Amino acid sequence: MKKSDFFKFENKNDDFPFYNGDPISFTFLQGLFLLVVSIASAILFQIDGSIPTFVQPVFNIILPLGAFMLVVKSNWTKIFRKVRFKDILLVIGVLIFNLILTILTGLLISKFTVANANPVANLIQENSLVENIVFCLKIIPMLFGEELITIIPFLVILLFATKTLKLPRKKAIVLAWILSAIIFGAIHLPTYNWNIVQAVLGIGVVRLVLTFPYIKTKNIWISLFVHVLNDWILLLPTLLASLA
C-alpha cells in the first residue's frame, strides 16, 4: 500500500481491517449478511413491542456485534483500539464542529421543509430528574449500537468497493463513508415522521462528521465518544427546561 493511497489526515502506518485481507476478508454473502443484520436490528429497535424493555438499550449491540463476531471470529476486536491523548483532542475538535454543523443544518432544513421534533424531547420533559439521568446513561449503549450499525456497513462497503468495483482506496473510502451515512440517515426516517430531507440529508450529513474520527483513528471508541457527547449536549437545553 502506497502512502499516496492514504488521506493526509490518516496515519500512513495504520489501515482499516478486512478490506485488503488483513487480517482476513469476508465473502460477498458474509458482507451482505452483515449489512442485513445491521439494518434489521435498527428497524426492529424502532418497532414498539418487538423487543423486551430490559433488552432495548443493548439490542443494537447484541445483533450486529454478534453477527460480526460470527463472520470475523476473534478478529472482531480490530475495530477497537487504544485511546490516546491526541484522540481526546480530536474528540473535542470534531464535537465542536459537529455541533455547529448540526445547528446550521437544522436551520437550513427548516427553510425547505417542516422539521419534525425528536420524540426524545417530549420524553425528557415528562420524566423526573432521576429518570432523565437514567435515560442519559441508557443512551450510551444505544449510541454504541448506532456506531456498530454504521461502522460495520462502512467496512463491508469498503471491501465491496475495492474488491468488486475495483476502486482505488481513497475513492472506496469516500463511497463507503457516504453510503453508510445515507443508510444511517434512512434508518432514522421513522423517528422524523418519514421526512426524507430531515432524516437522510440532515442526519446523514451529521453522520459524515461522526464517522470521521473512526476513519482517522480506525477506533470505534473515538466516534462513540463524539456521538455520546454530541447527543448529551443537544439534549441539555431540554433537560434544563424540564427542571424549570
Angle between helices 85-112 and 204-217 (to 10 degrees): 160
| Measured distance CA(4)–CA(224) in Å, rounded | 28
Worst-scoring range by mean pLDDT, 108-112, 207-211, 230-234? 108-112
Q: What sections of the chain are H helices per DSSP?
A: 28-45, 56-72, 85-112, 119-126, 129-163, 169-187, 196, 204-217, 220-243
C-alpha cell at 71: 463472520
- pLDDT, residue 83, reads 96
Burial status of residue 109 (CB atoms within 10 A of its CB: 0-12, 13-18, 19 or more): middle
- pLDDT, residue 205, reads 94
In this structure, are residues 37 and 63 in contact, taking their beta carbons and an 8 Å threshold? yes
- pLDDT, residue 49, reads 67
- pLDDT, residue 242, reads 74
Distances in Å between the alpha carbon of 196 and those of 34, 42, 111, 182?
A: 24, 17, 15, 11
Res. 57: pLDDT tops 90: no
| Measured distance CA(111)–CA(97) in Å, rounded | 22
- pLDDT, residue 244, reads 67
C-alpha cell at 63: 445483533
Task: Compute the average pLDDT of residues 105-123.
Answer: 79
- pLDDT, residue 185, reads 94
Q: How confident is the model at residue 112 (pLDDT cuts 50, 70, 90)?
A: confident
Q: What is the DSSP letter of 74?
A: G
User: Which of the two residues, 237 and 229, has the higher pLDDT score?
Assistant: 229
In this structure, are residues 46 and 191 in contact, taking their beta carbons and an 8 Å threshold? yes
| Measured distance CA(47)–CA(25) in Å, rounded | 33
Task: Compute the average pLDDT of residues 175-181.
Answer: 98
Residue 204 half-sphere exposure toward CB, CA atoms < 13 A: 20
